[in-house]
Amino acid sequence: MSPSEHQPGGEWPANDEMLSTGPRRGRITFWVIFTILGLMIVCAGSVFLYIWNGLRPAPAGDIVQVELKKGASPFQFAEVLEDQGIVRNAFIFKYYLRLKHEGPRFQAGVYELKQGMDKQAIIAKLNAGETLKQETIRFTIPEGFTVNQIVDTLSKDGYVDKAAFLALADKDQVWPDTDASKHIPKDGKYIHRLEGYMFPDTYELVKGSKPEDIIARMLQELDRKMDSLPENWEDSLAANGVDFHGMMTIASLVEREVVVDEERPIVAGIIYNRLKKGMPLQIDATVQYLLDKQKERLMASDLQVDSPFNTYKTKGLPPGPIASPSLKSIEASLFPKQTKYYYYVTKKDGSHEHLFAETLKGHNQNIAKSNATAKQ
């Protein structure tokens, strides 16, 4: 039989092409796998090199001042650090912070950071709040000051421009991060919109603070003081029949009328009593508020001034506060003392105390007593 013929039970003869197919395919598969692995290694190495390079210290250089602004996120601050040459790559630094759970403890302020610092040294300084001690301004606003008195104090010391400050105090706007000032009526007939809402206290702010920074700080202080009061103070507004703005107005009246702390709740109670009875308040301090200069004694002509703040001619509360009340006066207006008094008169013996009466007859008798004990 010819060798080319197929024999039953035998195998097809192998030729050179068929024998070489298996090894060739194996070599191709090997090189494909080798190439893919090589590319993966190269890619992984490139990523590693990119991250390593992004996290290593920036080139050494100068000490620069960098500000982490209040409310800015650590990720936003990373962009600032890159711009100032403190870190090489803000994108990588951001995700490093996230991986290490860093950032929430960073403290706002101005930092001195050196170009070329290690990332851990940067993070440690931000966590510790090692900010620069900035120059500050310090001023005191006494209790009972009006907006005009506040701006006079600040402008005299060179902290604000008087016209710019008054323009802001009169502007109808929402002040950020404040709550109490949101209660000011939009259509109020006040002389200065923020009258009574800038809390009297001693303040320290960064030198160069703008008028809006100073006003915002004083408005925020009123919020902080309100937070220190008993939690049920809002219930007192409804019980007394006033809103927040009305309460602040009464507090300002108490502030300008009373010196002795123990008498503040009594006078506040008298104001509520007169309001409920529909009597004019007849409070001298509201008339004094209208005058360019305070008078030791009001004249009959002063009581005829045509103004909604003149409580001798207009019944009810004036349109708004006449001064910045203290916390004691605010407390007294929230929690007045319940009495049957409708009248009070200042003693003229220098004690700054008052005599109280339930009737006009008793009030006139108290006036006579006060005059009898007047200092000569």
Q: What is the pLDDT of residue 36?
A: 78
Coil, strand, or helix at residue 108? coil
Structure tokens given for 206:
């960064």
The per-residue pLDDT string of the chain (376 residues; one tens digit each, 9 = 90 and over) reads 444 444 444 454 545 554 456 666 767 776 667 677 767 776 766 656 566 565 678 788 888 888 888 878 888 888 888 888 888 888 888 878 888 888 888 888 888 888 888 888 888 988 888 887 778 899 999 999 999 999 999 999 999 999 999 999 999 998 988 999 999 998 878 899 999 999 999 999 988 899 999 999 999 999 999 999 998 899 999 999 999 999 999 999 999 999 999 999 999 999 999 999 999 999 999 999 998 777 778 888 888 888 999 999 999 999 999 999 999 999 999 999 999 999 999 998 888 899 999 999 999 999 999 988 876 5
DSSP for residue 263: G
Indicate the helix (H) or strand (E) that contains 206.
strand 202-206
Q: What is the pLDDT of residue 12?
A: 45
- Per the listing, tokens 């060798």 go with 3
Q: What is the spatial distance between Cα 174 and Cα 178, in angstroms, rounded to a whole number?
A: 8
CA torsion angle 176 178 179 180 (round to 10) = -130
CA torsion angle 151 152 157 159 (round to 10) = 20
Burial per residue of 264-280, b for 16 or more beta-carbon CB atoms within 10 angstroms, e otherwise: bbbbbbbbbbbbeeeee
Q: What is the pLDDT of residue 373?
A: 82
Q: What is the spatial distance between Cα 336 and Cα 237, in angstroms, rounded to a whole number?
A: 11
Q: Which residues pair with 114 in a beta bridge?
A: 63
